[in-house]
Structure 1
């Protein structure tokens, strides 16, 4: 009798494991369909930016996407307030996001499009300190710079921050307000999610040397594009400069060597001058 009970229990457990394996490995997960981003809102409503805070002693969010949006808001002279992000409320599970009236909007690119449509005017040449009148060629190049920054350079930043030898600095500074025992647990969870992301992207399937080699090619591309210009497309910044700055600034103004990438970026005088020029241009008072 006991043998029958054991066999029945084992069969049931095997069935449960097979169902779990099938659902986790072969079935597409169900997820709610995200609604379309609203095109525009009411200019009278307050903009509330939800993002990760900066590390003590720095000016911008630890997330380059959050920094990109905050820099855009400052250069566009759009009044806003900042609050800590709550991932449980974040549209698409992403940070940053904004609350604007009844609209809760995620993804920095869609947020900027929404804000331009809400506060801008048709055929407007300037928005605060930003030049909006761009040629189709400039828009195309700007889009490629944005994609380069938000994929390759972003992955290099994640890898060098979270998965390399200087990750203890990240743990103690990014999570410094969390009590030490819990801090290590939360850091380990985030670090594992970063590994899964970068492995899925194919980024860390290369050797560390090859990762750095590819990252240097990306940095060289932006350095060449800048040339002798003050900004990406001349003497005035554009929305695309907000993106380039927010992803390059963490390498220039970092306490971490970032697997040699900090030294390499800082050896590019045109990039360093661009970052410093943008920093001096950005108002620090909301």
Structure 2
């Protein structure tokens, strides 16, 4: 049996990965003792769907948590094989609740809390990413969080503003952006998980299942990051200590040793394949990013560091697009022909396909 390759975001903030979905899949592979190596790509565009985790299993590529779990269950490698029908129903219900509530609460603390974003989240992504992604991806993720949290009427500013100067100002700002609702949601979800766990080692008894991987994947990004405003960490540690102990127990059992790191496969899906297959969608996203970054709102007073960061980010967009266009033309993906005084791009109609779903 060939070794599986896991393409994932690298470890950060004290967790096995900065992305909870990547933690889930690595936990699942470790739980079932599936042989695998890790490719710390830190690049969602390495996936044909624009999301990580991504696995290569032999000649098969599978992206996304649910698809990967289904893939291995079809290979008769199912961590839920011992569950009763009633327990499987519980698993499905908790899985949906966790992926909705715990992820939203994490996004709120990372992106609506401007102190956490500026002092911890953005610098952490900057360390993981190369140029020009370190200036682009954090803001893309922030915009994605803004769209996802709109259902709670949570407010996330579209760009950096001057940080509050004291804790009282910060609390007023957080209350305005939906602080009470989101931490109430976190406590309600923690309470439900705590009740299911009870005095057991794992969610369904003495042996872990897929649900434990999912719970750990999301709680790890609540518990381990040492953020300036670590309220989720504080709530877990002081109000739901059994859940915190569960995380430590799972972490010790399945993440006590590092796994081998490998280089990307030669046939790994790439940004360029996404571009060739869907050029209009790709350049539409580039245009939206530039418009978002440049902004149309009235200028706000910003610190020297923030102004410097934004200047570098704008230059990164321009440089990235320029390099991209040069690469395309140089490699013959498109060609430019001049007839008299007019130049025409070859038609891209032949590449029109259904737009790839890109979610960071």
After TM superposition, the score normalised by the length of structure 2 is: 0.59
Residue matched to 1:269 = 241
Q: What is the match of residue 66 of structure 2?
A: 109
Structure 1 residues 257 and 152: alpha-carbon distance in aligned structure 2, compared to 1, 3 A threshold: farther
| CA 1:251–1:178: 2 relative to 1, 3 Å | closer
1:76 to 32, 37, 40: 32
In the alignment, the residues of structure 1 paired with residue 243 and residue 202 of structure 2 have an alpha-carbon distance, to the nearest angstrom, of 10
Moved more, 93-102 or 232-241: 93-102
Aligned counterpart for 2:102 among listed residues 139, 153, 169: 153
Question: What are the residue-to-residue correspondences of 1:244-259 with 2, within 5 Å?
Answer: 244-256=215-227
From 211, 215, 230, the equivalent of 2:186 is 215
Alpha carbons of 1:180 and 1:249: their partners in 2 closer, same or farther (altered >3 Å)? same
Instruction: Give the aligned partner of residue 53 of structure 1.
Output: 10
1:62 is matched with 18
Q: Kindly tell me the number of residue pairs found equivalent between the two proteins.
A: 233
Q: Is the 8 A contact 1:225 1:232 kept in 2?
A: yes
Cα offset for 1:280? Answer: 1.5
Structure 1 runs of 4+ aligned residues shifted over 3 Å read 177-186
Q: Which stretches in structure 2 are left out of the alignment for 5+ residues?
A: 156-176, 260-360
Stretches of structure 1 lacking an aligned partner (at least 5 in a row): 1-43, 121-126
- What is residue 141 of structure 1 aligned with on the other side? 90
Query: C-alpha deviations, 1:69-116, integer Å up to 9, x for none?
Result: 001101111011111154334243221111122211111122122123
Partner of 2:339: none
Aligned to 2:117: 167
Q: Report the 3-state secondary structure (helix = DSSP H, G, I; strand = E; otherwise coil) of the residue aligned with 2:245.
A: helix
Distance 2:133 2:64 in 1: 29
Higher RCO (CA-CA < 8 Å; seq separation 6+): 2
The answer on 1:191 being equivalent to 2:142 is yes
TM-score by length of 1: 0.74
Structure 1 residue aligned with 2:81: 132
C-alpha root-mean-square deviation of aligned residues, in Å? 2.4
- The match for 2:267 is none
CA distance in 2, matches of 1:161, 1:80: 30
Task: Check the 8 A contact 1:257/1:263 in 2, yes or no.
Answer: no
